[in-house]
A and B are shown apart, each in its own frame.
Chain A
């Protein structure tokens, strides 16, 4: 008998992907003069992102319809973050990761801009500087309501001059300020190194020791594909998951999770279709009974790659993906898949919890419980 109903999940759901939609006109008031230039240089990017309605006021009633159907700046709790806990109460969500929209737009600028509006050296410098303001704001917001809302800080690991030592020191500073989640660009080698480079171990140790997850979320993958392809396919339809697949592969086979067994890593808003195939392939590639020599891990890994993924990594499927199939096809990865709302971004769709519940319920209660509640504990401890 099916016991884990939508109603029984109410109040226990963890959500690893939401946003704020603070109108651009309020950015300078909120983040200070450091973002003045960003407001000018990122106007086209903001327009392309959509959802920012300068005339919308965050004063609408908090109802099931308004939290599950209304999108963008018109949604309750989209810009008045003091109202977000009440929104979560209405949605039945216990705790939520919030990605700062201004920070993500700054990251687009910092990583080169969109194809139709490439950034300049000056605008990139402006964008990197704006991230400091975002991180201060995110820490302040997290400190106000740490049990419910965790605002994600952004580590400028792709910033010119970034070093492994700086990454560790900056992460320590962000955590000391109150941040409980840190995002890292995955399309550009962190401080010019492979993710598995041992020089990054102090950085990973800082996160692992503090129980703070390391996260990837679009536009983190920018910069991975060469300019020639980006010009032809600016929406990276052919390669949207390629950067995160590459990053997770490097961390796993390069021994990062072996050396840092308590590290928490989340691949957010990049879908989940790729992770099962990657897990299978890595498992077979290091299986010395099956392969011919060139892929062996050299005995440096004590677990199978899929076991590191289950222990250390989480991913978020989109609500049009056949998540039920993933649970059935890859039972060894049943700990990976996590629910996310994208609230209030339109990409989350309407009534996403109900929709996902319908998809996962055929797999059984245990899968439902994992998907909505327990799996995401790794990223929202």
Chain B
């Protein structure tokens, strides 16, 4: 065994991390538009305080020392180094041995949720709140482009394409906004998985110019856990007693977590999106990977004699392998996935979830230990090679 943890150092690609900025820094970092949104919709951001306690509002600068302990273990959320000050993130990556990282935005994701009416705390958002929210999204995306431009080789902050689910939006408008974001410097876009994009099936040819825009620019299109609302007809299914360390989390996370994304991806594969856009880069993060192997099997088998996926030149699993990447949760038995589903071994990617608690402590070490029995090539693929699709 030659691919040791040490030999990975400096070469690891990480497809899911966060900014974890304290609320009181929003105006400073994102400007006046973010301040207005924060003030107009304080209830939307209250769950952050529940989740992160005093850290969410602590008025301390991002000066925590960058050590192996603080980046992998002792510091999470708002107190972790570079949680707020993304210009410190490259130094954090150096300490973690990570070469390049996708960063998802807490403010961007939360704002997108309430703009779409998907945040229970803001289901009845006023016109003023919505206006402020759309402006905040613009401010956030400008910040994402700025950080990405300044740290291009290391940090790719994901832009939020909330417009994809805005009522009445057209495919042309999606293309136009995507082109604008790409021109500004962003290298990855996230869209909601719970709603049909522009009201259309993800496989609708009307979306081809949108996919082509991304493919031609080598910009990754992403789905991320937590943006699945409205996939199900009712959210009563999530109405379970909260508890534990994450009182705001829906415990149906365990199964609901991948259903909207599975539905979205199935439509793309069977509907020929990856056949029409062979260089499209598509990633699904923070929903685990337990479902992707069974889905690949199911799509490859079809439902003979009633439905056989022979209308496309490649097998569905071949499109998945070529065009799609997924992250795994730290507790998942990813070693068994490589054994069971060798045809999609290129799909599985490492993610740190830094600095959120969900990534666990010393996640790189834990996953490296778990993958040792599967072999060097798998380790190399999982930590370094596979994610090149999303972090070119």
Partner of A242, one of B194, B239, B249, B259: B259
Q: Which residues of A contact B262 (CB under 8 A)?
A: 238-239, 242
Given A226-B230, A237-B266, A245 and B255 contact (CB-CB distance below 8 Å) = yes
Q: Which residues of A contact B355 (CB under 8 A)?
A: none
- B264 near A249 with CB under 8 A, answer no
Whether, in the assembled complex, A281 has its beta carbon less than 8 Å from a beta carbon of chain B, the answer is yes
Whether, in the assembled complex, B372 has its beta carbon less than 8 Å from a beta carbon of chain A, the answer is no
Given A233-B201, A237-B270, A318-B303, A246 and B245 contact (CB-CB distance below 8 Å) = no
A246 vs B259: C-alpha distance in the bound complex, in angstroms?
Answer: 9
Within 8 A of B (CB), among A253-301: 253-254, 271, 273-274, 276-278, 280-282, 284-285, 287, 290-296, 298
- B232 near A224 with CB under 8 A, answer yes
- Interface residue tally on B, bucketed by range: 35 or more
A265 vs B199: C-alpha distance in the bound complex, in angstroms?
Answer: 37
**Proximity string of chain A (106-146) to chain B, C-beta cutoff 8 Å, 1 when within and 0 when not:** 00000000000000000000000000000000000000000
Which of B123-131, B213-221, B292-300 faces chain A?
B292-300
A225 vs B267: C-alpha distance in the bound complex, in angstroms?
Answer: 14
| Closest-CB distance, A282 to chain B (whole angstroms) | 6
- A298 near B243 with CB under 8 A, answer yes
- B236 near A189 with CB under 8 A, answer yes
Q: Which residues of B contact A238 (CB under 8 A)?
A: 262-267, 270
- B237 near A320 with CB under 8 A, answer no
A349 vs B263: C-alpha distance in the bound complex, in angstroms?
Answer: 27
Q: Which residues of B contact A224 (CB under 8 A)?
A: 232-233
| Closest-CB distance, B197 to chain A (whole angstroms) | 11
- A245 near B301 with CB under 8 A, answer no
A293 vs B331: C-alpha distance in the bound complex, in angstroms?
Answer: 11
Given A277-B291, A284-B333, A321-B301, A295 and B251 contact (CB-CB distance below 8 Å) = yes
Residue of B nearest to A274 (CB): B294
Interface centre among A245, A271, A285, A322 (most CB of B within 10 A): A285
- A194 near B254 with CB under 8 A, answer no
Residue of A nearest to B194 (CB): A226
Within 8 A of B (CB), among A192-249: 192-194, 196, 223-229, 232-233, 237-239, 242, 245-246, 249
Whether, in the assembled complex, A63 has its beta carbon less than 8 Å from a beta carbon of chain B, the answer is no
Whether, in the assembled complex, B88 has its beta carbon less than 8 Å from a beta carbon of chain A, the answer is no
Residue of A nearest to B360 (CB): A292
- A194 near B240 with CB under 8 A, answer yes
- A293 near B246 with CB under 8 A, answer yes
How many chain A residues touch B (Cβ–Cβ < 8 Å)? 53
Whether, in the assembled complex, B376 has its beta carbon less than 8 Å from a beta carbon of chain A, the answer is no
- A194 near B230 with CB under 8 A, answer no
Residue of A nearest to B200 (CB): A232
A9 vs B84: C-alpha distance in the bound complex, in angstroms?
Answer: 67
Residue of B nearest to A195 (CB): B237
Residue of A nearest to B250 (CB): A294
- B232 near A278 with CB under 8 A, answer no
- A249 near B255 with CB under 8 A, answer yes
Whether, in the assembled complex, A329 has its beta carbon less than 8 Å from a beta carbon of chain B, the answer is yes
A189 vs B293: C-alpha distance in the bound complex, in angstroms?
Answer: 29
Whether, in the assembled complex, B253 has its beta carbon less than 8 Å from a beta carbon of chain A, the answer is yes
Residue of B nearest to A276 (CB): B294
Whether, in the assembled complex, A169 has its beta carbon less than 8 Å from a beta carbon of chain B, the answer is no
Given A237-B270, A293-B357, A320-B304, A246 and B255 contact (CB-CB distance below 8 Å) = yes
Within 8 A of B (CB), among A57-91: none
Whether, in the assembled complex, B117 has its beta carbon less than 8 Å from a beta carbon of chain A, the answer is no
Partner of B244, one of A246, A274, A293: A293
- B290 near A229 with CB under 8 A, answer no
- B331 near A290 with CB under 8 A, answer yes
- A192 near B236 with CB under 8 A, answer yes
- B253 near A189 with CB under 8 A, answer no
A192 vs B265: C-alpha distance in the bound complex, in angstroms?
Answer: 30
Given A292-B330, A322-B301, A245 and B233 contact (CB-CB distance below 8 Å) = no
Q: Which residues of B contact A290 (CB under 8 A)?
A: 331
Q: Which residues of A contact B265 (CB under 8 A)?
A: 238
**Proximity string of chain B (86-118) to chain A, C-beta cutoff 8 Å, 1 when within and 0 when not:** 000000000000000000000000000000000
Interface centre among B237, B267, B301 (most CB of A within 10 A): B237
Interface centre among B255, B330, B333, B336 (most CB of A within 10 A): B255
A245 vs B255: C-alpha distance in the bound complex, in angstroms?
Answer: 7
Q: Which residues of A contact B210 (CB under 8 A)?
A: none
- B243 near A189 with CB under 8 A, answer no
- A294 near B237 with CB under 8 A, answer no
- A223 near B294 with CB under 8 A, answer no
Whether, in the assembled complex, B224 has its beta carbon less than 8 Å from a beta carbon of chain A, the answer is no
- A294 near B233 with CB under 8 A, answer no
Whether, in the assembled complex, B7 has its beta carbon less than 8 Å from a beta carbon of chain A, the answer is no
- A281 near B230 with CB under 8 A, answer no
Whether, in the assembled complex, A347 has its beta carbon less than 8 Å from a beta carbon of chain B, the answer is yes
Whether, in the assembled complex, B365 has its beta carbon less than 8 Å from a beta carbon of chain A, the answer is no
- A239 near B288 with CB under 8 A, answer no
- B331 near A232 with CB under 8 A, answer no
Whether, in the assembled complex, A94 has its beta carbon less than 8 Å from a beta carbon of chain B, the answer is no
| Closest-CB distance, B369 to chain A (whole angstroms) | 12
- B245 near A293 with CB under 8 A, answer yes
Partner of A225, one of B200, B232, B307, B331: B232
Q: Which residues of A contact B291 (CB under 8 A)?
A: 277
Partner of B254, one of A196, A229, A281, A329: A281
Whether, in the assembled complex, A250 has its beta carbon less than 8 Å from a beta carbon of chain B, the answer is yes
A239 vs B263: C-alpha distance in the bound complex, in angstroms?
Answer: 6
- A292 near B358 with CB under 8 A, answer yes
A271 vs B331: C-alpha distance in the bound complex, in angstroms?
Answer: 27
Given A281-B288, A287-B331, A290-B331, A320 and B251 contact (CB-CB distance below 8 Å) = no
Q: A229-B196, A245-B259 are in contact. List 19 more A-B contacts (CB 8 A).
A: A189-B237, A223-B233, A226-B230, A226-B232, A228-B195, A229-B263, A237-B266, A239-B259, A246-B232, A249-B252, A253-B251, A287-B331, A292-B330, A295-B251, A295-B254, A320-B303, A320-B304, A322-B301, A347-B306
Ordered by A's residue number, 9 sampled pairs between the chains whose C-beta atoms are within 8 Å are A189-B237, A227-B233, A238-B264, A246-B232, A253-B254, A274-B294, A292-B330, A292-B357, A293-B246
Q: Which A residues have a C-beta under 8 Å from some C-beta of B?
A: 187-189, 192-194, 196, 223-229, 232-233, 237-239, 242, 245-246, 249-250, 253-254, 271, 273-274, 276-278, 280-282, 284-285, 287, 290-296, 298, 318, 320-322, 329, 347, 349
Pairs A-B, 10 closest by C-beta atoms: A238-B263, A238-B266, A290-B331, A294-B246, A249-B255, A232-B201, A293-B245, A281-B290, A189-B236, A239-B263
